[in-house]
Structures are given as C-alpha cells and as structure tokens.
Amino acid sequence: MSSNITLRIKADSAYCSGALISPDLMAHPATSTDLVLTCAHFFRSRSGQVRVAGSSFRAEVLGVVSIPGTDLAVARLSKQSPPRDLIGISDRPPTWFSNTVTEGFGGSAKQPRLRFGRVIFRTPVAFSRRLDTLVRPGAVIYNNPKAIRGDSGGPVFEGGKIVAVQSLISDPFGYNLGLATVSQVGPHRRAIARAIEALQGAYPSLD
C-alpha cells in the first residue's frame, strides 16, 4: 500500500516523518486536516521554526503536544491539508507475525518510501541507546528495505489502520540490523485525543 498522508517534518538541518490524521482518529475519505501524528523525540531539542512538506502541501507547525511516557506526539499545522484519504488509528496492538508497511522520508527521500515488514514480537517498554527516548509499549518489526534515520515518526500500517509510529532502529556499531522498534498507538488513543483537544484549544481558528 502507499498513502499520500505521510509528511516530512523539518527543523534546521534535522528532519523526521509524520502522518496526517483526523480529529476523531477515524478513517475519512477525501478529508482535510491540520493534525499530524509523529514521534516525540524529534521535538525534544527543537526551538526554532518547524515546517512540514508532503504531496502538494507545505505548512508550518504551530504547536506540539507529546504523550507523556511515550515516543508519540501530535502537531497542529498552520493550515489545512488538501483533501486526503485519512487512515484511522488502531485501538489494538500489532498482531504477532503480521505484515506491516512503514512510510517515511528516511535517507533524504523526496517521496515517502515504503518499508515492508513483519512483527517479530511486542514489548512493554524499550529505550534508545542513550536512554533518552522511551517507547511504551512497543513492537519490534523486521523491515525490508530497512528503516533508517529520518523514518522516525512515520506511520506503521497494519490491516488498513495506523498501528504504530516508527521510533528506533537497531544499528550496533553502525550496522543496521533491519530491526525497528515502533511505538504502539492503540493503548494511547485517549491520550492522543486529549492532545488534539489541547491543540485545538490553543489554536482555535485556522484558515
């Protein structure tokens, strides 16, 4: 599968990926939105202007709310996207050994690339090498092609829904093993909804 909801999120010389989502977290055909689901770790040390770019769409990030204790975040954009077929947020964990597709702009890609994967196992918690990124709960996926830097924040699809967000890669001594740790979204659906409400309250009128 390939969608047109994945965005490149850029600040200074750093970038990550993210996915357009609807305010009610459900699937909607041909619908505009100003909300993006992405990874929290990208915004940990960003203080300047953050921009997004996707298919026939560019905007600025007005605000970000991170979900405490996770690597998930929701961003509010400066304008509505063109109509997109928005994909729903799953309320279930990724299924063991199921097939997945991760979309992201890793490797300075001009268009989002597809990483075809399989869920190897789920994990209640995972940390980055420096212990500054927490994934709770997570899942480990073997991807081919491998997930790489810049794919962080990109959506992970399973069964026609977003089940996770790309967070970490396994690259001991600089060698990418093809194993990616992703942040499950299902357990945090309510927290994501509260983050959206907070952003809508902070920026009540757009366009």
User: What's the CA gap between 129 and 204, in Å, rounded?
Assistant: 39
pLDDT per residue over 103-154, tens digit each?
Answer: 999 998 889 999 999 999 999 999 998 888 999 999 999 999 999 999 999 9
Query: Which of 12-16, 85-89, 141-145 has the weakest average pLDDT?
Result: 12-16
User: Are residues 152 and 122 in contact, defined by beta-carbon separation less than 8 angstroms?
Assistant: no
Q: Tens of pLDDT along 159-173? A: 999 999 999 999 988
pLDDT at 173: 87
- The CATH number assigned to the domain with range 6-88+188-202 reads 2.40.10.10
Please classify residue 120 by burial: count the beta carbons closer than 10 Å to its beta carbon, then call 0-12 exposed, 13-18 middle and 19+ buried: middle
Instruction: Give me the helices (H) in the chain, please.
Output: 189-202
Model confidence at 205, pLDDT cuts 50, 70, 90, reads low
Where do the domains of the chain lie? 6-88+188-202, 99-186
Name the class of domain 99-186: mainly beta
Q: In whole numbers, what is the pLDDT of the chain averaged over residues? A: 94
Q: Are residues 206 and 79 in contact, defined by beta-carbon separation less than 8 angstroms?
A: yes
